[in-house]
């Protein structure tokens, strides 16, 4: 099958010219270049994808260096891995030397050696990601599909390439579900059976790699569907027995998307995912996935605040009291609890939710007009006295008792002699 016409329509003109130039320079070096993986899959599906992966039967790094010298692209090379990244405006192209992989043991990172396109495709995760399009002048646009990936696209199936795929690399279990839910596909029958058989192989995978796969899953448009599917397949309990993928998670993830900026969503999803944990249970989870310090703090704060929510369940609380109850917690933890308590049929939770929202949308941004230098000019010495004045001014500002800078000066001057 030849996809030359589709390529010409699919790629923007400047990117297409760059790809052809890379292929031309490769041919001069006696090498061949192919479009591979996700871009081939998405081209056949008609989905946009401008982050291109190129496989080089030859030296990808030297080829990329040569291209960078003769074009306006920026180069980032990884000689040790035989890979390079070319950046061109808003586009990126990843070049990799065709390679073969062997696994010393299940879960280990593979041993990589140079290979052919055939070697490179067999090492991939699923048939729909194991297709390539030639960019050579003599067979430009020809589809290489040794594992019937196009057929699986047409039948909407996720299929592994060999029975040992999940045991070689159990992160493919998480990726299989991610692609299944993103594309609206189904796990091919034998693939589903092998996935369930090999779920225990997740124990051979480092926490960093599992966390990375969850982070990728959380970047999907509706990750709650993948979380639910992982629960159905028995994968979530293998990561932690306390993880759930129920309707509560689906509702809260959906609410999170309507409240937060996309760049913060993965971390917020983590805080919601562990909301059913006890404070004593969370440490094993953090250690298992080697969660970074900042996110670990947000996750711990989520559960600490959850146990302290009754303190906020008073309609008589002043804004300053709400602020000083919540200021010690990470904002992500406050946001997670605000989402978790947004139950309109439950009056106490509604009061708590309103207080959390008030903190998030207003109180945490309140600042006094006066600062330390200005208080010095008013005759208030630096030290504990000034700290007390600033705190009283801040509380008064939060509670609406002072509104202007003049109000703050008047209050500060009245306080100093008393202090």
Confidence of residue 79 (pLDDT cuts 50, 70, 90): confident
Query: Given this model, what pLDDT does residue 418 score?
Result: 57
Cα distances (angstroms) measured from residue 360 to each of 41, 72, 76, 321, 344: 42, 45, 40, 14, 19
Shared-domain flag, residues 25 and 108: yes
Task: Quote the percentage of the chain above a pLDDT of 70.
Answer: 95
Domain coverage including residue 304: 292-365
**Which of 255, 276, 291 represents a domain boundary (last residue)?**
291
Residue found under tokens 């006696």: 30
Shared-domain flag, residues 333 and 286: no
What mean pLDDT is predicted for residues 282-287? 94
What mean pLDDT is predicted for residues 86-95? 86
pLDDT in tens, 340-377: 987 654 555 789 999 999 999 999 999 999 888 888 88
> How many domains, in total, are found in the chain?
4
Shared-domain flag, residues 286 and 298: no
Shared-domain flag, residues 162 and 150: no
Query: Given this model, what pLDDT does residue 260 score?
Result: 65
Q: What is the largest CA-CA distance in the chain?
A: 90
Query: Given this model, what pLDDT does residue 323 score?
Result: 96
Shared-domain flag, residues 100 and 207: no
pLDDT in tens, 235-271: 999 999 999 998 999 999 999 998 866 668 999 999 9
Q: Which has the closest alpha carbon to 372: 347, 407, 329, 408?
A: 408
Q: What is the mean pLDDT of the chain?
A: 90
pLDDT in tens, 1-36: 899 999 999 999 988 998 999 999 999 999 999 999
- pLDDT-wise least confident of 90-94, 122-126, 304-308: 90-94
In whole angstroms, give the CA distance from residue 335 to residue 341: 10
Shared-domain flag, residues 318 and 348: yes
Whole-model pTM? 0.87
**Which of 154, 180, 204 represents a domain boundary (last residue)?**
154
Query: Given this model, what pLDDT does residue 415 score?
Result: 80
At CB < 8 A and 24+ separation, what contacts does 81-87 make? Answer: 81/112, 82/112, 82/114, 84/60, 86/18
User: Mapping DSSP to helix (H, G, I), strand (E, B) and coil, where does residue 58 land?
Assistant: coil
Shared-domain flag, residues 95 and 9: yes
Query: Given this model, what pLDDT does residue 51 score?
Result: 85
Q: Indicate the DSSP class of residue 381.
A: P
Confidence of residue 137 (pLDDT cuts 50, 70, 90): confident
Shared-domain flag, residues 320 and 335: yes
Shared-domain flag, residues 112 and 138: yes
> pLDDT at residue 338 above 90?
yes
In whole angstroms, give the CA distance from residue 294 to residue 297: 5
> At 27, which CATH number?
3.30.460.10
Query: Given this model, what pLDDT does residue 251 score?
Result: 93
Shared-domain flag, residues 102 and 212: no
> At 257, which CATH number?
1.10.3090.10
Shared-domain flag, residues 236 and 127: no
Confidence of residue 206 (pLDDT cuts 50, 70, 90): very high
Shared-domain flag, residues 286 and 300: no
**Which of 271, 291, 311 represents a domain boundary (last residue)?**
291
What mean pLDDT is predicted for residues 287-307? 96
- pLDDT-wise least confident of 41-50, 53-62, 70-79, 121-130: 70-79
> pLDDT at residue 135 above 60?
yes
User: Mapping DSSP to helix (H, G, I), strand (E, B) and coil, where does residue 52 land?
Assistant: strand
Query: Given this model, what pLDDT does residue 104 score?
Result: 65
What mean pLDDT is predicted for residues 291-305? 96
Query: In the sheet that 83-88 helps form, which strands lie side by side, from edge to edge?
Result: 74-78, 83-88, 91-97, 51-57, 32-36, 132-134, 143-144
Query: Given this model, what pLDDT does residue 151 score?
Result: 97
């Amino acid at each position: 099958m030849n996809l030359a016409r589709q390529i010409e329509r699919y790629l923007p003109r400047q990117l297409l010219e760059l790809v052809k130039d890379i292929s031309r320079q490769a041919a001069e070096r006696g090498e061949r270049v192919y479009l591979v993986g996700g871009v081939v899959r998405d081209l056949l599906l008609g989905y946009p994808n401008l982050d291109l992966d190129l496989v080089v039967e030859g030296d990808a790094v030297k080829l990329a260096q040569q291209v960078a010298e003769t074009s306006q692209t920026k180069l980032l090379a990884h000689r040790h891995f035989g890979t390079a990244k070319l950046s061109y405006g808003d586009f990126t192209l990843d070049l990799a030397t065709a390679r073969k992989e062997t696994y010393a043991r299940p879960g280990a990172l593979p041993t990589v050696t140079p290979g052919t396109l055939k070697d490179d495709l067999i090492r991939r995760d699923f048939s729909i990601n194991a297709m390539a399009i030639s960019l050579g002048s003599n067979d430009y646009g020809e589809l290489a599909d040794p594992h019937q990936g196009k057929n699986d696209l047409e039948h909407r199936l996720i299929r592994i390439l060999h029975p040992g795929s999940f045991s070689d690399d159990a992160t493919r279990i998480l990726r299989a579900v991610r692609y299944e839910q993103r594309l609206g596909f189904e796990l091919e029958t034998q693939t589903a059976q092998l996935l369930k058989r090999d779920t225990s192989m997740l124990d051979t995978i480092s926490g960093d790699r599992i966390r990375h796969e969850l982070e990728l899953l959380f970047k999907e448009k509706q990750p709650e569907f993948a979380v639910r599917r992982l629960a159905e397949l028995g994968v979530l309990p293998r990561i932690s027995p306390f993880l759930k993928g129920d309707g509560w998670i689906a509702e809260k993830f959906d609410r999170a998307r309507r409240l937060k900026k996309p760049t913060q969503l993965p971390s917020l999803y983590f805080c919601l995912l562990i909301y059913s944990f006890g404070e004593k249970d969370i440490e094993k989870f953090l250690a298992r996935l080697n969660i970074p310090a900042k996110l670990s703090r947000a996750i711990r704060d989520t559960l600490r605040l959850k146990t302290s929510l009754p303190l906020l369940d008073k309609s008589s609380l002043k804004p300053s009291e709400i602020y000083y109850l919540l200021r010690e917690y990470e904002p992500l933890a406050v946001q997670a609890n605000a989402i978790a308590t947004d139950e309109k049929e439950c009056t106490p939770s509604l009061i708590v939710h309103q207080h959390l929202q008030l903190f998030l949308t207003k109180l945490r941004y309140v600042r006094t007009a006066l600062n330390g230098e200005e208080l010095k000019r008013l005759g208030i010495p630096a030290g504990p006295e000034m700290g007390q004045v600033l705190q009283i001014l801040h509380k008064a500002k939060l509670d609406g008792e002072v509104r202007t800078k003049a109000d703050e000066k008047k209050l500060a001057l009245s306080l100093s002699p008393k202090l």
